Amino acid sequence: MRAITLALAAVLAFPVAAQASAGARSAATANVEVGDFFFRPAYTRIEPGDTVTWRIAGGGPHTATSRPAAPAAFDSGELLSGQEFSFTFAAAGRYPYLCSLHDFMRGVVQVGPDTVDPKLSKLVATVRASRVWVAFTLAETSKVSASVATVKRPRKKLRRIRAKTVEEGRRSLSVKIGGLKPGRYRVTLTARDPEGNARSVKAPFKIPKPKP
Ligand SMILES: [Cu+2]
C-alpha cells in the first residue's frame, strides 16, 4: 500500500513540476557578431527579459546604438576588436539600431512577436527601355517580390521577379517587360518582413506604342 501511495504521489507531482518549468522560462542570451561592416545576424528575435551581446569580430571601432524608433535607448560606445556590449530587453517591441560610426551598418532586435506589416510607400512606376522601374520607400528590411499583370480582366500575371532582400529606405527595382504588347498593365510589389508579415502595393503603368 505504501509503494502504491508513493507511485501515485510521483504521478501527481509530475504535471505540476512540468508546468512550473514551462511558466518560468529562463532568460536567454543572443549573440550578434559585429564585423567590418555588418551585424550578423542583422535581425535578432528574442523574448522579453533576454539579453543581446554584441561582440566586435572585425577590427572596429564600432558601436551598437539604438535608433530613435526603439522603445528603449542603448549605446555601447566605441568598441574595439574582441570587446563586447550586452543589453537586456525588458519590454516587447522592435528595436532598430545602428553603428554610430558607420550609419549604414544596421540591425534590428525584435523582442516578442512582430505583428506589424512592413510599411511600403506608394509606388512610382516608370517605363524605361525594356523594363519597368519601381521606386518606393520601405520602412523595414524585407523580402520584396514584384509582378506585372494585365489591368484588363481576367488578370494575367505576365512577369515576375523572385523575392530578394531589400534594406529599409528609398529603393528601386525593375522588372523586365520586353516582349509585352503596348497597353495598360500594373505592377505589384510585396514586402514580407522576417516574421512573415506582408504588405502589397500596386501601381499602374503603360507601355506606349512604338513611334513610327
Ligand atoms: Cu561601425
The model's pLDDT over 155-174, given as tens digits with 9 standing for 90+, comes to 899 999 999 999 989 999 99
Q: What is the pLDDT of residue 111?
A: 97
Q: What is the pLDDT of residue 90?
A: 97
- Per the listing, cell 542570451 goes with 29
Cα 21 to Cα 88: distance, rounded to the nearest angstrom: 22
pLDDT confidence tier of residue 21, bands split at 50, 70 and 90? very low
Cα 74 to Cα 150: distance, rounded to the nearest angstrom: 49
Distance 168 CA to ligand 1 centre (A): 18
Residues whose CB falls within 8 Å of the CB of residue 44, separated by 6 or more in sequence, listed in order? 30, 32, 52, 107, 108, 109, 110
pTM: 0.75
Q: What is the pLDDT of residue 23?
A: 56
Residue 42, class by beta-carbon neighbours within 10 Å (0-12 exposed, 13-18 middle, 19+ buried)? Answer: middle
Residue 161, class by beta-carbon neighbours within 10 Å (0-12 exposed, 13-18 middle, 19+ buried)? Answer: middle
H or E stretch including 31?
A: strand 29-35
**Is 123 within 8 Å of 203 (Cβ atoms)?**
yes
Distance 63 CA to ligand 1 centre (A): 6
Distance 207 CA to ligand 1 centre (A): 44
Q: What is the pLDDT of residue 211?
A: 81
